[in-house]
Structure 1
Amino acid sequence: MRIQRALSLCILLLVLGASPLLAVDPNRSISQYAHSVWRIQDGVFMGTPSAIAQTTNGYLWIGTKAGLLRFDGVRFVPWTSPNGMPLPSLDIDSLLGARDGSLWIGTRDGLSHWINEHLINYASAMGVITSIVEDHDGTVWFTHLGALDGSGPLCHVTGTSTQCYGKTEGVPNFDFAESLDVDSLGNLWIGGDTALVRWKPGSSDSYGPIGLKSNEGMQGVTGLAPDVDGSMWAGMALGGPGMGLQHFVKSVWKPFIAPELDGRNLEIETLFMDSHNALWVGTLKRGLYRIFGHRVDHFQVADGLSSNSVLRFWEDHEGNIWAVTSRGVDKFSNLQVATLSTREGLGTEEVDAVLAARDGTLWIGGAESLDALRDGKVTSIQAGKGLPGNQVTSLLEDHEGQLWVGIDSTLTVYRNGRFRWIKKPDGSPFGVIVGMAEDSDNNIWLETIGPPRTLIRIHDLKVQEQFPAPGMPAARQVAADPAGGIWLGTRNGDFVRHRNGHAEVIAFKHAQDSQVEHLLVKSDGSVQGATAFGLIGWKQGKTQTLTTRNGLPCNSIFSMIPDDAGALWLYTQCGLIEIENTEMQKWWEQPDSVLKLRVFDQFDGVQPGWAPFQKVARTPDGRLWFANGIVLQMIDPHHLYENVLPPPVHVEGVIVDRKSYLPQEGLRLPPLTRDFEIDYTALSFVIPQKVRFRYKLEGHDTDWQDVGTRRQAFYNDLHPGKYAFHVIACNNDGVWNEAGATLNFSIAPGWYQTNWFLAFCAASALLLVWGLYRLRLRQVASSISAQFDERLAERTRLARELHDTFLQTVQGSKMVADDALDAGSDEKRMRNALEKLSTWLAQAVDEGRAALQSLRVSTIEKNRLSESLQRATEDHHLPASMTVAFSVIGDARDLHPIVRDEVYRVGYEAIRNAAMHSRASRLEIDLRYANDLSLRVKDNGVGIDPSISDDGKTGHFGLQGMRERAARIRSKLSIMSSANAGTEVTLIVPGNIVYRKTRPTVFERLKAEALRLGGFSSIDDR
């Protein structure tokens, strides 16, 4: 950042060494300068302004009676020392911006030095510091009043101390030492209450003006301004003989006396010599004067000055003049466009027509006056004093140099100081003449309002032809065609070419009543018209319109004129526009092209307005003049003021989450930064409103941000890290400071944005992924295991079925067959054996069918449990003596298919056991749908032996299988049996396991998954 500032400073110093073309032009009156004012009542000053200076970094400093302000052209910022050290006093009387970039501050109670962001205060016993200067060697000198230590009034700084000079060294002990300056030879000049002293170490001369000889105890020489010839201008606080404004030349006092001003009568507060050697005089009660040679300009409160009491002057790096008054600060700078009005000597307050004569005279017509501007002087022919009428309308200079003047409703020719009347054949008035032109045959053509509106041709001072409307389209403008004839700009926005008695209309697309305000016919045969809907043009039979689509800032055009270089100037509603000839040729070839323009607006002095008659003129010196109906405006394309100084750029502050930080290099900002603002500025004072900016935040922005005139950058999405903010700016003429300013800063990460936390998160994520992977492996393994368990359980059940029933029956059948074979000769015994074998085989078929039936029960059946159990009673061929009571209590509900199968198989086994072993006469089967599902199978048979009920029968797996199935579905199975009451098997299945929901909740899914992972893989709601 320091390197960037150093580069900016070098650029600034190099440019400052050039010719001071930026300074205010002394050939213009002060009223033609751009004048800006900041008054106390505007609220920008803490107290009355009293001093002004500029430091090499470009900032202006304003000293007030209540503190110090820093100014960038837009904002006044109260200054306070960052290190907390206060000034000796907030009442500031003098300031100096030294060549080393530091600021010297003279207060009511002593001297301070602001250098390298540090404040140094010197001994406060010196009293009021009235003036501070820097000599050619860089030594800082100052004058002071009311020293408590009795030191002399002139002092200089030596390191961290001061040394003062008094009578012993040839410096009178003035009661008032108000002013101090250095001439070109290095002499110090001290203005006191009784004399003017020229002093060098070892040399002293005192000069007492006559008026100050008896002035002890009162203010004397209050202002000094060395001239380039070695002489000295001195201003005194009192007026009168030998007082006021005096010029001290070769040891002789000479009062300044001019026709406009007797300098002896002025009460002077301050003097200043600008870079053009114009003397600025600040007075106590009469505003300011500027003296350049023998020309004197005066500017006071009536002209817009903030106060008639002017205390200080300053010329900044760009040549603007600043005046500090008792009620504010005023700035004077050049305007590209000068304005002439009655203040500059015009005789009319209504400029309606302007004409440039070939002899260099500019004729200005308006209400009650015809003015002639020659060599900077205005002469007027006033109504009743030589002007034969009141309103001057159109003007024309013919080939003989005669001036044709429309006055009221008449036409005259002005020559040799006399007006000659031109009359119509019938003696009737012409009407108001809105346009005049002379064609190549020396015919004078008039367009008059009438009534009726009429085109008139005059030759040899006589009316030859008249073409009234509507036969001839009503026109507003007339222009000669170099090829012969004339062109008319009509009231409906079209062109008419009139040649050899024939009128040809060239129409344009436009709104109604869009009249041609001005007409321009060029030597290449092209015709252009100024209208409210843009610039219309005709060339070689082609029509086209230049509008905002082509880059114009607005469409409403009042007038136009080419300059000596061929560039076209448009006087429009939104300013004065310059279009180079190459751009115009581009437009003729490509009607839709966007052109490069240069726009001068109100900041450049443009005051757009409509004039009813001749609107524009170009004098032989190349200057362009525009009438706006009120004043006359002028621009000189050959002498445009160019601001060649690239503006110094500074980053002024950083605001983060409403907390301010100094823009220090390597600034570290706290974590979790959200609202981020950077304030920056560029120090150009000519037209600060036209200073434009671009910035880029490296580390965030991919390209430059063009933000126009905005002086803040805003971000709300900055992440932790290092950034470099780079801002550049251009001045009012588009000269860029490419070095700009840079601020490097960093944003600390929050605890969760640190590298260790990110590493922890990464490790945690890896662990989580690994854990999920392992969990998934377990799930897959569990699923496979569950499938194997299901297959094993089914095989085990089938093995039990085959072992307990089918195989035993087959084994019995084999035994019967074997027995029959042993007695094969006994036919009767063989028959009985075969009958018994048939019975056993039928039983084996039934048992095999029953096993197959149990395998055929599908798990996709939704709610067929009651039907399946009832069918089981039928499949087992219950004894004829056994009755079955089957009941279903409650509304049937959808059951989980896997759980339903387990319930069915438990019930099936209980029914089969009752059918085969109970020898019961009654079997009761109850299926109850309640909060839980319960199944009860009860018989009144012989019961089950307790040992078998507890441990099962060796080689049989029926009871054991029932218990295993109940456990698998987390159900409660009870078997109660006695020899007298039979056997009762009860199975209770929890409702949250057996009942199936249409849309299970996330919790239920997780619970079901947990059950499955816990070993109950058959509970799967897929």
Structure 2
Amino acid sequence: MKQSCRQCQHPGFLLGLLGQLLIKSLLLLLISTCAYAAGTSPKLVDYSHRVWTAHDGLPHNTILSIAQTQEGYLWLATWEGLARYNGSTFKVFDRNSQPALRDSATVVLHTGQKGVLWFADTRGNLGRWSPGNQIRYWGKPEGLPDAGIDGIFEAANGDVWITFNGLGLGRLTPTASQFKLIQPQNHTQNFVGIRPTLDRTGRLWVGSLQGLLYVEGNKLLPAPAAFNLPTGVAWPYQAPDGTIWIVAGNQLYQLNDTRLQHIHTLPPELRVTALLQDHYGALWLGTENRGILRLSEHGLETVGAKMGLPEGRIASLIEDQEHNVWAATNGGLYRLREALFSTVGLQTGLSNAFVRTLAEDAQHTLWLGGSGGLDAMNPVGSIRHIPLQPSTDKQGDVSVLSLLADGHTLWVGTYGDGLYELRNGVSVRRYGRRDGLLSNHVRALARAADGSLWIGTRQGVFQLRDGVIQSLNTPGMPSTLIHALLDSGRALWIGAQSGLYRYADGSASKIPLGDAGEPIRALALYLNPTNRALWVSSDRGLWRLLNQKISHIGIEQGLPIDAVFQMAQDNDGSAWIGSNRGVLRLSYLQLREVANGTAPRINAEVFDNRDGMSNAQVNGGAGTSTLLTHDGRVWFATAEGAASVQPQRLLHYRTQSAPATVVEGLLVDGTDTPIPEQGSVNLPAGTRRIAITWAGLNFVSPQSIRYRTQLEGYDNAWTARGNQHLAEFTALGPGHYTFRVEASIGDHGSMGQAAVLHFQIEPFWWQRTTVQAIALLVLLLAIWFIYRLRMRSYHRNAERLELLVGERTSDLQRQTLALQHANEEKSTLAERLREQAELFERQAYQDALTGLPNRRAFDTVLAREFANAHRNNQPLCFVALDIDHFKRINDTYSHAIGDLVLKTVGQLLQNVARESDFAARVGGEEFAVLLNDDRIEDAQTMCERLRENFHATQNWADIEGLQVTFSAGLVRLSTGDANPQQLMDRADAALYQAKRDGRDRICTA
């Protein structure tokens, strides 16, 4: 009995007890007759809906008929024109369009053979729209009766059957331009023909206000008396599988060949105006004023105002090639699309669209809390509002932030009214500041392992035990806004505005996430039941805590956004996460691999409005905003209701084929140009600008279509166009071109069949091939003539040149001999100049007397070695040497003897110095020696050896008894020597000291 009552609360149950009986009987009907069913149809809640009106581009809100042609266009008959819909925009054809209609008010549509569309207007004109925007009319001028048209049907042989208001049934053979009118047996001026249809046997059935009719030869006869149809309105409907349904009054029949089977008696007040059998085999019934009914294995469900259906008559129902259901209504074009996500919102009974938190109790009631208070949805979908008394005298409902279902108890945390305790859906107590809460802002709730309740507020965490609230003011606990609480049994995990905390055994500690300088907000917590991994959702991605190790998954690892909210894991191993930009679906196995470091990036799918969500903003940071319910469905709290997804339907939903693509328009230098169905468009010479528009005919997710184009004859490469619908080409040369456009769903989907447009730009007369060939021939003849003239002149000049060559040859020979002699003299002079240059270069850097380098060479080497020693921290010793009493030698023996002494000194220096040392004469009797990589002791040894050689030399300059000595100053490079001059100054000082001490000695400094 409880289950029956629960069924009576279903939102699709609008017809009371009579409707319940209808459900049961029609279910039996489906079991026995729907052998055509193609599969299990989804529940009505799994459809998303949308309405298009004049605000969206329709010429009029009242849709009188709908049809879809072979290429995929959706056509709509309205009072203000014929509208063609490509999934993105409406193209309206009326008396002012191109092509133009005879009358804008279009009332009847029918999809014919070979992709044509038959239509009729209020003035009795019958039109045939062929691919390529070609229209042919039949009306009063072409021999048709002057009467309104109620119905059209094209047979397989090409004959068109037309019902004329007040006259009868017409048969038009377009190929032979033959027309014949068949009047009913009991002809009346009130005749209205409804939906002519052929059955499998080839018999034509026609509905009318007086009952069902059929054609026998050239007669329009009433249905056989054996059918025993009720009097009044009756009309047929042919399903895609060929099944003929008959609606007669309030009776529903099936016609099998010539046998009529009664199916069901409909309620007398339910007037059916349209029928549709979808690809699942479910039957959709459009009504005069009761919306749309769907009959399937789920029972009889109602599509009404709660699902956005405009009020009024349903004139037509069709299912398109992508299995969307379309309805022609008085209030616009209505579509039901099987979507991955469905939404429970205002139209389905929620008290407020802004949902913040979700919970499911043991009775499978879904609780929804938001800015408008608390709602409960039972397992069959009925929603009721649960009033909560505010803590003050303010008007309206409380704002709910968090929910926790615990058996028959529901805990409700609010924005400013504290904590409510509900039992069996009734509020029994409210906890606030007087009960121990420091803040009535309750954002998070969790059941403790000992049965108490954890409460997260704006001012920290509290514990409710046996009706008493205590504050957890343990050192280390956060006192800021609490976003989430999770009791793992061993510890209480706290997600706060200031980060993540752990509370256990009376002590609290903060768990560092990320860099210490960047605070991380821990917005939600999820504990994996298998491996006890704790997942933290934050404003910087996901964090995993496992075995005392923290791993991070953020934008760098593939998450599409920074801030993520509550995680839930479905039964198929996928993790679902809400965010401000939609719902993320990730493989939990891949999440674990990235966290373990065995995979570099995560692949995330993002779902949003395109997938059926009313609003892609999922709320978070308070309560449970993502919830896995008992039936495997995942729910999300969003800014416009609660969105849900059944993960098992994901594979079916994602298998979308590439859309058909059509070229819609060709604009040549600003002028709209017709496009033929076949062949090429010829464009005049001098065409400067060509604009081509196209569309991918997709009604499921047109915003996801991506295009690419190619213009063969100009550039054979494909050009990615994104979601653009226009390509422009300027200054194309004359020739043949083939334009192709392909479409795919998404950036990585497979491309569908290309739409092709051939066009040719005619050349100017001077660009024609024949003209250019003649011009080329004339040019070649002119070139040949000029060539012949030049060759004749060439031969004359050759003879004259031959004489001149003989005369000049002897002159050249004489000149050659003279040049050879001059060249020899030049070589000799050059050799002398080279030798002189080498001598000058040596003199510039060498002392001519001693053969040692001079002062100029020494300064260069000293600067270089000084820099190297400083840079590489190497030792460098410098010796300043002066011949003792050299002036006395010059004065006593002459300057010539002095020069011989200097030569001898130079030789002694060269004998003592190593290859790496550098000795030079830097003045008259002054010499200097640089010693690389030597210690001061080694340098002093060298100086002593030189002094011994001086003493060993007897009779200097062959002067008997002449003895020569020297005084020297020796220094080693120190860190205080800023430049070479300072080093030399120190050596000079040591030299002067040697002279003061009596000469013939070496002093160091």
TM category (shorter chain) comes to: 0.5 to 0.7
Give the aligned partner of residue 437 of structure 1.
446
Residue from 340, 343, 357 that aligns with 1:339: 343
Give the aligned partner of residue 147 of structure 2.
127
Retained in 1: the 8 A contact 2:413–2:445? no
Change (3 A) 1:46 1:297: closer
Change (3 A) 1:526 1:735: same
Give the aligned partner of residue 312 of structure 1.
316
Alignment of 1:734-745 (within 5 A): 736-745=750-759
TM-score (norm 2): 0.61
Could you tell me which amino acid in structure 1 is paired with residue 490 of structure 2? Answer: G
Task: Answer yes or no: is 1:263 the counterpart of 2:263.
Answer: no
Secondary structure of residue in 1 paired with 2:326: strand
Secondary structure of residue in 2 paired with 1:579: strand
User: Using the alignment, how far apart are the partners of 2:786 and 2:550 within structure 1?
Assistant: 74
Retained in 2: the 8 A contact 1:443–1:459? yes
Alignment of 1:165-184 (within 5 A): 165-168=182-185, 173=188, 175-182=190-197
Give the aligned partner of residue 246 of structure 2.
232
Give the aligned partner of residue 584 of structure 2.
577
Deviation at 1:623, TM superposition (A): 0.9
Task: Answer yes or no: is 1:35 the counterpart of 2:42.
Answer: no
Q: Which has the larger radius of gyration?
A: 1
Alignment of 1:367-406 (within 5 A): 367-383=372-388, 390-398=398-406, 403-406=410-413
User: Using the alignment, how far apart are the partners of 1:461 and 1:764 within structure 2?
Assistant: 115
Task: Answer yes or no: is 1:488 the counterpart of 2:497.
Answer: no
Retained in 2: the 8 A contact 1:153–1:173? no
Give the aligned partner of residue 466 of structure 1.
472
Task: Answer yes or no: is 1:54 the counterpart of 2:68.
Answer: yes
Deviation by residue 1:635-688 (Cα, 9 ceiling, x = unmatched) = 222224356443222223333433444264344444555433322222112232
User: Using the alignment, how far apart are the partners of 2:430 and 2:89 within structure 1?
Assistant: 62
User: Using the alignment, how far apart are the partners of 1:719 and 1:190 within structure 2?
Assistant: 57
Deviation at 1:47, TM superposition (A): 10
Could you tell me which amino acid in structure 2 is paired with residue 472 of structure 1? Answer: P
Deviation at 1:618, TM superposition (A): 0.8
Give the aligned partner of residue 713 of structure 1.
727
Unpaired segments of 5 or more residues in structure 1? 1-16, 214-219, 236-244, 796-1022
User: Using the alignment, how far apart are the partners of 1:542 and 1:773 within structure 2?
Assistant: 93
Retained in 2: the 8 A contact 1:288–1:298? yes
Secondary structure of residue in 1 paired with 2:339: coil
Change (3 A) 1:777 1:592: farther
Give the aligned partner of residue 293 of structure 2.
290
Give the aligned partner of residue 867 of structure 1.
none
Retained in 2: the 8 A contact 1:438–1:445? yes
User: Using the alignment, how far apart are the partners of 1:311 and 1:425 within structure 2?
Assistant: 60
Retained in 1: the 8 A contact 2:413–2:441? yes
CA RMSD across the alignment:
5.3
Secondary structure of residue in 2 paired with 1:738: coil
Secondary structure of residue in 1 paired with 2:591: helix
User: Using the alignment, how far apart are the partners of 2:784 and 2:545 within structure 1?
Assistant: 80
Unpaired segments of 5 or more residues in structure 2? 1-34, 255-259, 813-1005
Give the aligned partner of residue 936 of structure 1.
none
Deviation at 1:221, TM superposition (A): 3.4
Retained in 2: the 8 A contact 1:687–1:732? no
User: Using the alignment, how far apart are the partners of 2:610 and 2:451 within structure 1?
Assistant: 41
Secondary structure of residue in 2 paired with 1:557: coil
Give the aligned partner of residue 126 of structure 2.
111
Change (3 A) 1:459 1:85: closer
Retained in 2: the 8 A contact 1:642–1:733? no
Task: Answer yes or no: is 1:601 the counterpart of 2:609.
Answer: yes
Deviation at 1:621, TM superposition (A): 1.3
**48-57 or 153-162: bigger deviation:** 153-162
Task: Answer yes or no: is 1:153 the counterpart of 2:160.
Answer: no
Deviation at 1:405, TM superposition (A): 3.6
Residue from 498, 505, 512 that aligns with 2:511: 505
Residue from 623, 628, 631 that aligns with 2:638: 628
Give the aligned partner of residue 663 of structure 2.
651
Deviation at 1:435, TM superposition (A): 1.4
Retained in 2: the 8 A contact 1:568–1:579? yes
Retained in 2: the 8 A contact 1:516–1:530? yes
Deviation by residue 1:686-734 (Cα, 9 ceiling, x = unmatched) = 2322222122334444543222211122333645554433322124797
Deviation by residue 1:91-150 (Cα, 9 ceiling, x = unmatched) = 432121124422222343243444576636363226222112356888643311244xxx
Alignment of 1:4-15 (within 5 A): none
Could you tell me which amino acid in structure 2 is paired with residue 145 of structure 1? Answer: N
Could you tell me which amino acid in structure 2 is paired with residue 573 of structure 1? Answer: N
Give the aligned partner of residue 93 of structure 1.
107
Task: Answer yes or no: is 1:194 the counterpart of 2:210.
Answer: yes
Deviation at 1:549, TM superposition (A): 5.1
Secondary structure of residue in 2 paired with 1:263: coil
- How many percent of aligned residue pairs carry the same amino acid? 22
Deviation by residue 1:866-920 (Cα, 9 ceiling, x = unmatched) = xxxxxxxxxxxxxxxxxxxxxxxxxxxxxxxxxxxxxxxxxxxxxxxxxxxxxxx
Give the aligned partner of residue 286 of structure 2.
281
Give the aligned partner of residue 821 of structure 2.
none
Change (3 A) 1:85 1:743: closer
Retained in 2: the 8 A contact 1:246–1:263? no
Residue from 676, 701, 706 that aligns with 1:687: 701
Retained in 1: the 8 A contact 2:61–2:330? no
Task: Answer yes or no: is 1:141 the counterpart of 2:161.
Answer: yes
Deviation by residue 1:222-280 (Cα, 9 ceiling, x = unmatched) = 87657999663357xxxxxxxxx6646879898644xxxx735x6x7655555553434
Deviation at 1:56, TM superposition (A): 1.4
Deviation at 1:364, TM superposition (A): 2.0
Change (3 A) 1:454 1:782: farther
Secondary structure of residue in 1 paired with 2:387: strand
User: Using the alignment, how far apart are the partners of 1:43 and 1:464 within structure 2?
Assistant: 61
Deviation by residue 1:449-497 (Cα, 9 ceiling, x = unmatched) = 2xxx2223456776677236864363533354658323222203x3223
Change (3 A) 1:546 1:667: farther
Retained in 2: the 8 A contact 1:153–1:174? no
User: Using the alignment, how far apart are the partners of 2:434 and 2:469 within structure 1?
Assistant: 10
Deviation at 1:434, TM superposition (A): 1.5
User: Using the alignment, how far apart are the partners of 2:293 and 2:600 within structure 1?
Assistant: 50
Change (3 A) 1:703 1:685: same
Deviation at 1:619, TM superposition (A): 0.7
Change (3 A) 1:484 1:694: farther
Alignment of 1:960-975 (within 5 A): none
**512-521 or 220-229: bigger deviation:** 220-229
User: Using the alignment, how far apart are the partners of 1:603 and 1:623 within structure 2?
Assistant: 15
Change (3 A) 1:334 1:791: same
**63-72 or 225-234: bigger deviation:** 225-234
Could you tell me which amino acid in structure 2 is paired with residue 363 of structure 1? Answer: W
User: Using the alignment, how far apart are the partners of 1:594 and 1:777 within structure 2?
Assistant: 81
Retained in 1: the 8 A contact 2:37–2:282? no
User: Using the alignment, how far apart are the partners of 1:22 and 1:776 within structure 2?
Assistant: 97
Aligned length, in residue pairs: 737
Change (3 A) 1:234 1:424: same
Alignment of 1:238-257 (within 5 A): 247=252, 256-257=266-267
Deviation by residue 1:362-415 (Cα, 9 ceiling, x = unmatched) = 2223444342432323344323699999454422245x6754443665545545
TM-score (norm 1): 0.61
Could you tell me which amino acid in structure 2 is paired with residue 92 of structure 1? Answer: T
Residue from 315, 326, 329 that aligns with 1:322: 326
